[in-house]
Amino acid sequence: MLDSARIEEAKAACLLATEPTSTPSAELVSSWRRSHAALGTPANVRDVPCVAEDLLDARLLEMFRAPLQRFTETLGDTGLGLLLSDPSGRILECWSADSTAERHLESVGTLRGAVLSEETVGTNGVGTALATGHLVQVRGPEHFADFYRGAMCTGAPVRHPVTGRILGAITLSCEIAPRPELLPPLLRTVSAQLQHQVLEVERPASRRALETFVTMASSHTDPVVVLGPRGLVMQNAQASRLSPERIAEIQEVCRDISPGKDGTRLIRTPNLTLEVNSAEPGNHLVVIRSGPIPAHTGSGTRATGPARPASVLAGRSPDWLAALREVARARAERWSPVVLAGEPGTGKLSVALGTPSMPGRYPAGHSVLDSAESHIIGSRDWLRKVAATISSDEVVCVRAAETLDRATLAGLRSVLETAATTTPLVTLSTADKREAEDLAVRLGGDRVIWIPPLRDRVADLPELWNAFARTAAPAARLTLSEAALRMLRAHRWPGNLVELRSVVQRLASAGKIGPVEVGDLPASLRSEDPALPLIEQVELRAIRQALQEAGGNRAQAAKILGISRATIYRKMKTYRLTL
């Protein structure tokens, strides 16, 4: 049993360089001393520092993502969160299989990009495993920082099986729980599996597969899977939500494909549409263009942070994620029709399709019918076309239904009601929610799913920018400077996503390469007052006031505001707040 009082006394004696009445392990004392030398007292460790995503090792994450994802699926209802770090203690990814683990990781500020080295937060299951080079378990007050007092971390370094070099660390983190002795053997097994994964990837063919995967994963918003020799599987973040059955389906498809020079093959299965490139024996690059990517349920796996719907669409803001979840629910419950409304350019058609839409290029199994065509070929012929399409097994999306007159709307409603095997989707472009609800009623829909405008999801701007930049000019590396990002956040975006994409495409067409500064942005953006919208100003003032009241302690400020520690970190990062 953990004797907290004795440990606290021993730690205090260690920090004061006095003789303790009880002596913990020499390894723990050494870690406290290293932490003391780097940080002073535990009171100096107020929060967990974070680094930008572009500083995280994508190659290491993608090499280990698939086996760690599979391992996490066994952790349902255990309250255990799983972490992967690089050799510097930077967290590359967090996984959790239940809400208890998710809440725990959030409560201690452990999220992607957090830095958990001993030099930044003191003794802990990540940094101390890296510092000592072997498995450690740190419980409650054994941690250096006070905010880890209720946590238990079991961490192990992952070494290169040939050179012995430390590649990173894996850590199981949870609230203090009984039977902690069960965790070290479990972690040793996982560490050994990762070493085996390294051996597989180090083979020449596997190494080429990994290099191909890292390149493709960074330039695709679609799910990407690479099947290498000897059963090696690598998945990007989007593909990590594929069920084991779908992965097995992809493996079965690729098993009979021989390498050739005929480029990419388009293969359709009962559940998926795949682009498969097999450049050499045993290596298959697979891009999933359409098909179900269900979120795991029950004891399934999910990354920490806001629960993201099964989607390849960029964005993490709450309203955006809520809209995606609502669309998924509507399709599952067979609403007829599913009505999506919002301002022009907000991404309604992309949400309906479940993938970024490109004019004239839609995923297999989907048909997009533009209401504007009714004004060209006539309402009767257009409705016949809709009826013929709905009678097929394809998912039908009717866009811009607000342009239809009353008679055609009534006809469309009758046609949509005949849909038997699929759920039709209808998009409406309007800024008036009452108008959208009225049109939805005329179409036979009793609810409207509202797609938020870009000005209400400015936190998504970096991710959206990167997605558009990868599509427009993947080799140009059009990254936003902090000043340019502040300018974009201040803009009102009347054209929404279409306007943002246009800005990126103009830069790409002009041959711009590398970081984008304020001077590179269009004059229409630079001429605006860069003041924040009113709501964001109020939020910013509240955060500043809470930080002032808390004396700069972010954890205390989060309590004052009634939000989580991770949320205040994200907000401070969004508003560029420093202490």
User: Among the three residues 272, 290, 308, which one is the final residue of a domain in this structure?
Assistant: 290
Residue 26 near residue 14, CB atoms below 8 Å: no
Cβ count within 10 A of residue 75: 21
- Model pLDDT for residues 435-449, shown as the tens digit of each residue: 888 888 888 887 889
pTM attached to this predicted model: 0.44
pLDDT > 90? residue 156 = yes
Q: Residue 110 belongs to what domain range?
A: 4-202
> Do 479 and 334 share a structural domain?
no
Residues 59 and 179 in one domain: yes
- Rg of the chain over all Cα atoms, to the nearest angstrom: 26
Residue in the block written with tokens 């991710």: 463
* pLDDT the model gives residue 33: 92
Yes or no: say if 339 and 447 are a contact pair by the CB < 8 Å rule.
yes
463 occurs within a structural domain: yes
pLDDT band at 361 (very low <50, low <70, confident <90, very high): low
Count CB neighbours of 232 within 10 A.
22
Does residue 43 sit in the same domain as residue 67?
yes
Residue 240 lies in a domain: yes
CATH number, domain of 347, equals 3.40.50.300
Q: Is the pLDDT of residue 509 over 80?
A: yes
Which of 435, 452, 469 is the last residue before a domain boundary?
A: 452
- pLDDT at residue number 151: 94
If 0-12 CB within 10 Å is exposed, 13-18 middle and 19+ buried, where does residue 280 land?
exposed
Provide CB contacts within 8 A for 337, sequence distance 6+. Answer: 398, 416, 419, 423, 424, 425, 426, 443, 444, 445
* Residue 370 and residue 322 in one domain: yes
Distance CA 276, CA 325 (A): 29
- Of 452, 481, 509, the one marking the end of a domain is 452
pLDDT at 529 over 50: no
Q: What is the pLDDT of residue 570?
A: 76
Q: Would you state the pLDDT for residue 404? A: 92
Banded model confidence at residue 255, pLDDT cuts 50, 70, 90: confident
120, 95, 169, 571 alpha-carbon torsion, rounded to 10° = -20
Angle between helices 4-16 and 26-39 in degrees, nearest 10:
50
DSSP string, 1-56: ---HHHHHHHHHHHHHT---SS---HHHHHHHHHHHHHHSSGGG--S--B--GGGS
Q: Are residues 112 and 212 in the same domain?
A: no
As given in the structure block, the two tokens for residue 487 are 């300018």
Task: Name the average pLDDT for the chain.
Answer: 81
Encoded amino acid at 453, one letter = P
Instruction: Clarify whether residues 343 and 370 are in a common domain.
Output: yes
Q: Are residues 490 and 448 in the same domain?
A: no
Q: Are 128 and 155 in contact (CB under 8 A)?
A: yes
Q: Are residues 185 and 261 in the same domain?
A: no
22/148 same-domain check? yes
The pLDDT > 70 percentage for the chain reads 82
Indicate if 233 and 195 belong to the same structural domain.
Answer: no
Beta-strand pair 395-399/425-429: parallel
**pLDDT for position 375:** 87
Cα 318 to Cα 343, 456, 458: the distances in Å are: 18, 10, 11
CATH of the domain at 538: 1.10.10
**What does the pLDDT average to over 145-167?**
89
The per-residue pLDDT for 181 is: 84
Chain center to CA of 98: 17
Angle formed by the axes of helices 565-574 and 99-107, to 10°? 60
Q: Which residue has the higher pLDDT, 122 or 20?
A: 122
Judge if 62 and 118 occupy the same domain: yes
Q: What is the CATH number of the domain that holds 31?
A: 3.30.450.40
85 DSSP β-pair partners = 91, 169
Q: What is the CATH number of the domain that holds 465?
A: 1.10.8.60
| Short-list 322, 281, 294, CA closest to 223 | 294
Number of domains in the chain: 5
The answer on 339 and 362 residing in a single domain is: yes
